[in-house]
Amino acid sequence: MIRNINFVSKFKKANFISIIIFVLSIILISFKGLNYGIDFKGGTLIELRTETSIDTSLIRESLRTMNLGDVNVKKFGKKGDYLIKVEQKNSNNSSLIPEIKKTLSDYLNTEVDFRRVENVGPKVSSELLQSSVIAITLALAAMLFYIWVRFEWQFSVGSIIALFHDVTITLGIFSLLSLEINLSIIAAVLTIVGYSMNDTVVIYDRIRENLLKYNKISISDIANLSINETLARTIITSITTLLALFSIYILGGEILRGFSFAMILGVIIGTYSSIFVASPILKFFKVSYKTLEKEEEKIVP
Amino acid sequence: MLNFSKINIIIIYFIFFIVSIFSFLNFQNKNNLILDKKVNLGLDLQGGSYLLLEINSDSLVEEKIQSKVIPIKKLLKENNIKFNNFKINNTSLNFTVDDLDKFELVFFSKKDNLVNPYIDNYRSHELDFRRLSDNFIEVNFSKFGLLTINNAALKQSIEIVRRRIDDVGTKEPTILQRGEKRILVELPGLKDPERIKKLLGKTAQLNFRLVNDNSEFGTDELISETGEKLKISKRIVMSGDNLVDAQPSIQNQQNEPTVSFTLDRLGAQKFGRATTDNVGKRLAIVLDGKVISAPNINEPITSGNGVISGNFSFQEATDLSLLLRSGALPTPLDVVEERTVGPDLGEDSIKSGITSLIVGFILVILFMFYKYKIFGLIANTALIANLLMLVGVLTILEATLTLPGIAGIILTVGMAVDANVLIFERIKEELKTEKSIIHAFDTGYSKAKITVLDANITTLIAAIILFAFGSGPVKGFAITLGIGIITTLFTAYFLARHLTSIIVLRTKNKEIRI
């Protein structure tokens, strides 16, 4: 399935688009912000099921009497399932949940079943946010180091820029759509880092091999050749991964929806960035077969 | 790469069969005595409660610093150090001393220092002081002094939390220390976490104190159960520490639920003396600063048995006796994180997780067969083997499977074929230039090897970091993702390669298409 698509000619246009989307994502994240879930903001989340379908505004109204602060009510999956999010006002009310339950069943006059309750205190939520940021930073650093050991620094920097691109744009889209960022989204982001890296490494591996094989050809042409040679694999793997992810997205239930959506975005962006971000950067760093030779001399004295 | 020695083949299939057999252990109904291993279901799948409790040691530190007041004053007097302006703050003591050097010497003496003991483990004293101005100093607990207090309180709290939870009788609770101030509690299958939360939320410090207007120890004004304002002496006649047992009981006359308690010898003596001396007065029973009841002492109680009444429901009497039996917590416990999943949501999650796994699996298998025909079958065989081995390893490790963990398995299904795709595509390329088919397969496998390794190690790094930093369900995802990578490498590079070699070697150099 080796085709000969001229990717190099599209690099400029792609990079231009990438930069615009990247900058837009940063603007969105810093001005519109991210919609943190209770994991990172603290608060109470209740997934409830009622026997009869109720208007969400009625639930909201019944909770207003409790003076809970910011209350968010939405439908969640099946009919009669709702998700209530309560901003934490006083963190230490141990009987908050039974009180909410009583208020709801009294006001709505129906059986209310709390299927899931999550309560995260302000201290824990800020710790979770902190450890998530550390985890993502550490993951990026570990990738940087691994590629630096296996390849040369130019490759390592190139792959990290591609990763930044992927993570930022994924978060940018989450900001744009006001989708919730919780612990499972962080897990998705870390997996995207792994997946995008995986994709980049396959192309880099081929670039390195071709650089040694054809030392007269420019890096642009080498990159083009390598991308084409690995294109079939890139596409097939993306398809099988996306098949699995769409299956989770559609059939895996509400809890996994955000996670699988983030992964789907990540796989698409990651595949794009391996070709259109990670590869052109090598030209920018003036990588040639000499870069590889120098390294080899150093290793084998 | 296509030549396998007999011994290699035996080892490969031996490993595969042993590991896969474990995956079937999950489907047996009865408990197998020899191999009773199963994948544990996480709280999100089987339902249950996860609680993170934090000790709130502020009041304890206050109490402890107050208990230092008399010893410090005594120490100063014994050593003829004049002091002035002695003041007790929340967590510190302020005063001036006339001879600071001498104070420092006795305060930090290492030998037989009962006021400020030296903690060998930390090479530090329990207390520390700093100069606020010339001779005005502030004494408070050192960093390690606080750590010692917290540690002791935490250890004791864990013990009492365990007793309370065991007493309620939930199945297989997990109670662990987390850091310096926290206790992690996992209660699988729990239907009503509110009762447990209520039980853990009470310190259950029980005191018996006399109702007395003019006590030399000072009084607290508390409101009784009937709404009556009572002046209660600060002196504690007897505390809950002296209780050896407490049980719910019914008072026959009014059919009223009460709590009967039994005291230890020392407690019986104290109680006996106090009730003998104070016949006719009222004795307040105070729990966590609230009066439960304040009955009249009609006659001396010397038997060491007593009854607490207080308009309880039977449930309340049961819970109170449970709390009294388990002992008082040294500090209040705050619930800083709670995650509860009802059992029916857990079941729904398993159902949708398994459905999406099956559908995802079938889609990938169909696609691979469409793309690579006979070699697609090989990749698919490897994929099935991979899934069996992945579940097998999870079973051997008795790992906890969570909903994100199931997502990790599905993702592994999607990504696992990558190793074979890389190899097959490489072989295709080799077939273009290479005359010998066997040779093309051979170089295809060896050239793709490094790429496959590099590509999978990056995902493995992500999984390891997730495992280290993730909590609960996310950890479950990291486990399946990480183990999935290892089983993927095994199945692609040993099983699939062996199957490929059988086909390639049998067809000799006839036409072969990938």
d(C-alpha A77, C-alpha A34), whole Å: 23
Contact B418 A240 (CB under 8 A): yes
**Burial per residue of B126-154, b for 16 or more beta-carbon CB atoms within 10 angstroms, e otherwise:** bbbbeeeeebebebbbbebbbbbbbeebb
What is the model's pLDDT at position B202? 87
Contact A240 B334 (CB under 8 A): no
Is position A176 within any domain?
yes
Nearest to A184 among B411, B450, B474 (CB): B474
pTM of the full structure: 0.86
Q: Which pair of structure tokens corresponds to residue B270?
A: 């104290």
Order across the sheet with B127-131: list the strands. Answer: B83-88, B92-97, B136-141, B127-131
Q: Which pair of structure tokens corresponds to residue A186?
A: 């962080």
Answer left, alpha or beta for residue A109, where phi above 0 means left and psi between -120 and 50 means alpha.
left
- The answer, for A197 touching chain B at a CB cutoff of 8 Å, is yes
**Burial per residue of A239-276, b for 16 or more beta-carbon CB atoms within 10 angstroms, e otherwise:** bbbbbbbbbbbebbbbbbbbbbbbbbbbbbbbbbbbbb
Task: Please determine, for residue A296, whether its predicted confidence score (pLDDT) is greater than 70.
Answer: no
- Residue of chain A minimizing CA distance to B197: A94
Q: Which pair of structure tokens corresponds to residue B183?
A: 């206790």
Show residues of chain B in contact with A242, CB under 8 Å: 414
CA distances from A98 to A46, A122, A246, B181, B195 (A): 11, 21, 37, 27, 10
Query: Which of A81, A104, A120 is where one domain is finished?
Result: A120
Q: A12 and A49 share a domain?
A: no
Task: Please determine, for residue A124, whether its predicted confidence score (pLDDT) is greater than 60.
Answer: yes
Contact A252 B194 (CB under 8 A): no
Show residues of chain A in contact with B403, CB under 8 Å: 253, 255-256
The C-alpha of A120 sits at a distance from chain B's nearest C-alpha, in angstroms, of 4
Which residue, among A233, A257, A259, would best test binding to B if mutated, counting the most B CBs under 10 Å from its CB?
Answer: A233
Assign 3-state DSSP to chain B and report helix, strand, coil percentages, each to 5.
55, 20, 25
Confidence of residue A1 (pLDDT cuts 50, 70, 90): very low
- The answer, for A93 touching chain B at a CB cutoff of 8 Å, is no
What is the model's pLDDT at position B254? 78
- Residue of chain B minimizing CA distance to A81: B345
Question: Quick check: A267 and A192 in contact, CB under 8 A?
Answer: yes
- Residue of chain B minimizing CA distance to A114: B342
Residues A20-68 have pLDDT tens digits of 999 999 999 999 999 999 999 999 999 999 888 888 888 888 888 887 8
d(C-alpha B172, C-alpha B268), whole Å: 37
Q: A259 and A144 share a domain?
A: yes
Confidence of residue A301 (pLDDT cuts 50, 70, 90): very low
Q: A105 and A195 share a domain?
A: no
- Residue of chain A minimizing CA distance to B349: A253
Which own/partner contact pairs does A286-290 have at CB distance under 8 Å and 24+ positions apart? A286/A219, A287/A152, A287/A154, A287/A155, A287/A211, A287/A219, A288/A211, A288/A215, A288/A218, A288/A219, A289/A211, A289/A212, A289/A215
Nearest to A134 among B349, B451, B469 (CB): B469
Burial (CB < 10 A; 0-12, 13-18, 19+), residue B36, is exposed
The H-or-E segment that residue A125 falls in is helix A122-150
Nearest to B425 among A134, A194, A232 (CB): A232
d(C-alpha A260, C-alpha B23), whole Å: 26
Q: A288 and A167 share a domain?
A: yes
d(C-alpha B299, C-alpha B297), whole Å: 6
Show residues of chain A in contact with B359, CB under 8 Å: 247, 251
Question: Quick check: B431 and A167 in contact, CB under 8 A?
Answer: no
Q: How many domains does chain A have?
A: 2
- Report CA Rg, chain B: 35
Please, what sign has the CA dihedral across residues A18, A19, A24, A28? positive
Provide the CA B330 distance to its chain's centre, in angstroms: 19
Task: For chain B, list residues with pLDDT below 50.
Answer: none
Q: A179 and A287 share a domain?
A: yes
Contact B404 A259 (CB under 8 A): yes
**What is the 3-class SS of A190-258, one letter each residue?**
HHHHHHHHHHHHHHHHHHHHHHHHCCCCCHHHHHHHHHHHHHHHHHHHHHHHHHHHHHHHHHCCHHHHH
Confidence of residue A300 (pLDDT cuts 50, 70, 90): very low
**Side chain identity at residue B55, one-letter code:** I
Provide the CA B9 distance to its chain's centre, in angstroms: 44
Confidence of residue A90 (pLDDT cuts 50, 70, 90): low
Q: What single DSSP character describes residue B169?
A: T
Q: A137 and A269 share a domain?
A: yes
d(C-alpha A10, C-alpha B244), whole Å: 82
The C-alpha of A21 sits at a distance from chain B's nearest C-alpha, in angstroms, of 25
Question: Quick check: A226 and A203 in contact, CB under 8 A?
Answer: yes
**Side chain identity at residue A240, one-letter code:** T
Residues near B26 by Cβ (< 8 Å), separated by ≥ 6? B38, B39, B391, B395
Three-class SS state of B299: coil
Nearest to A244 among B345, B360, B450 (CB): B360
Is position A235 within any domain?
yes
- Residue of chain A minimizing CA distance to B352: A252
Q: A169 and A269 share a domain?
A: yes
**Side chain identity at residue B403, one-letter code:** L
Q: What is the CATH number of the domain that holds A100?
A: 3.30.70.3400
Q: Which residues are A180's β-sheet partners?
A: A35
**Side chain identity at residue B401, one-letter code:** L
Please, what sign has the CA dihedral across residues A267, A273, A279, A281? negative
Is position A18 within any domain?
yes
Contact A244 B481 (CB under 8 A): no
The C-alpha of A296 sits at a distance from chain B's nearest C-alpha, in angstroms, of 17
Query: Which of A61, A89, A120 is where one domain is finished?
Result: A120
- Residue of chain B minimizing CA distance to A115: B342
What's the complex ipTM?
Answer: 0.90
Nearest to A135 among B418, B454, B465 (CB): B465
Q: A28 and A174 share a domain?
A: yes
Q: What is the CATH number of the domain that holds A141?
A: 1.20.1640.10
The angle, 0 to 180 degrees and rounded to 10, between the axes of the packed helices A257-273 and B403-433 is: 30
Query: Roughly how many angstroms between the first and final C-alpha of chain A, as a whole number?
Result: 41
Nearest to B60 by CA among B141, B125, B161: B141
The angle, 0 to 180 degrees and rounded to 10, between the axes of the packed helices A122-150 and B437-469 is: 150
**Burial per residue of B71-94, b for 16 or more beta-carbon CB atoms within 10 angstroms, e otherwise:** ebeebbeeeebebeeeeeeeebbb
Contact B462 A201 (CB under 8 A): no
Percent of chain A residues topping a pLDDT of 90:
53
Contact A237 B418 (CB under 8 A): yes
d(C-alpha A126, C-alpha A42), whole Å: 8
**Side chain identity at residue B460, one-letter code:** L
Q: A173 and A27 share a domain?
A: yes
The C-alpha of A123 sits at a distance from chain B's nearest C-alpha, in angstroms, of 7
- Residue of chain B minimizing CA distance to A240: B414
Residues 55-84 of A with CB under 8 A from B: none
Q: A136 and A284 share a domain?
A: yes
Bridge-based pairing state of the strands A81-86 and B305-308:
unpaired
- The answer, for A47 touching chain B at a CB cutoff of 8 Å, is yes
Which residue, among B461, B471, B513, would best test binding to A if mutated, counting the most A CBs under 10 Å from its CB?
Answer: B461
Which residue, among A39, A41, A189, A243, would best test binding to B if mutated, counting the most B CBs under 10 Å from its CB?
Answer: A243
E strands in B132-179: 136-141, 174-178
Backbone angles phi, psi at B446, to 5 degrees: -70, -35
What is the model's pLDDT at position B255? 84
Nearest to B448 by CA among B488, B492, B414, B412: B492
Nearest to A248 among B371, B407, B473 (CB): B407
Question: Quick check: B476 and B40 in contact, CB under 8 A?
Answer: no
Is position A81 within any domain?
yes
Contact B339 A240 (CB under 8 A): no
- The answer, for A87 touching chain B at a CB cutoff of 8 Å, is no
Nearest to A201 among B338, B342, B458 (CB): B458
What is the model's pLDDT at position A89? 61
Contact B474 A92 (CB under 8 A): no
d(C-alpha B239, C-alpha B327), whole Å: 10
Contact B368 A146 (CB under 8 A): no
The C-alpha of B103 sits at a distance from chain A's nearest C-alpha, in angstroms, of 40
Answer left, alpha or beta for residue B289, where phi above 0 means left and psi between -120 and 50 means alpha.
left
Q: A207 and A272 share a domain?
A: yes
Is position A167 within any domain?
yes
Is position A1 within any domain?
no
Question: Quick check: A116 and B340 in contact, CB under 8 A?
Answer: yes
Query: Which of A120, A154, A173 is where one domain is finished?
Result: A120
Residues 135-174 of A with CB under 8 A from B: 135, 138-139, 142-143, 146, 150
Q: A22 and A72 share a domain?
A: no
Residues A157-205 have pLDDT tens digits of 999 999 999 999 999 999 999 999 999 999 899 889 989 999 999 999 9
d(C-alpha A181, C-alpha A188), whole Å: 10
Contact A115 B341 (CB under 8 A): yes
Question: Quick check: B10 and B498 in contact, CB under 8 A?
Answer: no
Is position A3 within any domain?
no
Contact B356 A195 (CB under 8 A): no
Residues 199-218 of A with CB under 8 A from B: 199, 201-202, 205-206
Show residues of chain A in contact with B454, CB under 8 Å: 150, 201-202, 205
The C-alpha of B32 sits at a distance from chain A's nearest C-alpha, in angstroms, of 32
For residue A109, the enclosing domain spans: 43-120
Nearest to B455 among A123, A187, A201 (CB): A201
Residues A228-249 have pLDDT tens digits of 999 999 999 999 999 999 999 9
Q: Which pair of structure tokens corresponds to residue B29?
A: 């109904």
Order across the sheet with B283-287: list the strands. Answer: B238-239, B206-210, B283-287, B290-293
Is position A2 within any domain?
no
Q: What is the count of residue pairs from A and B with beta carbons less than 8 Å apart? A: 218
Three-class SS state of A79: coil
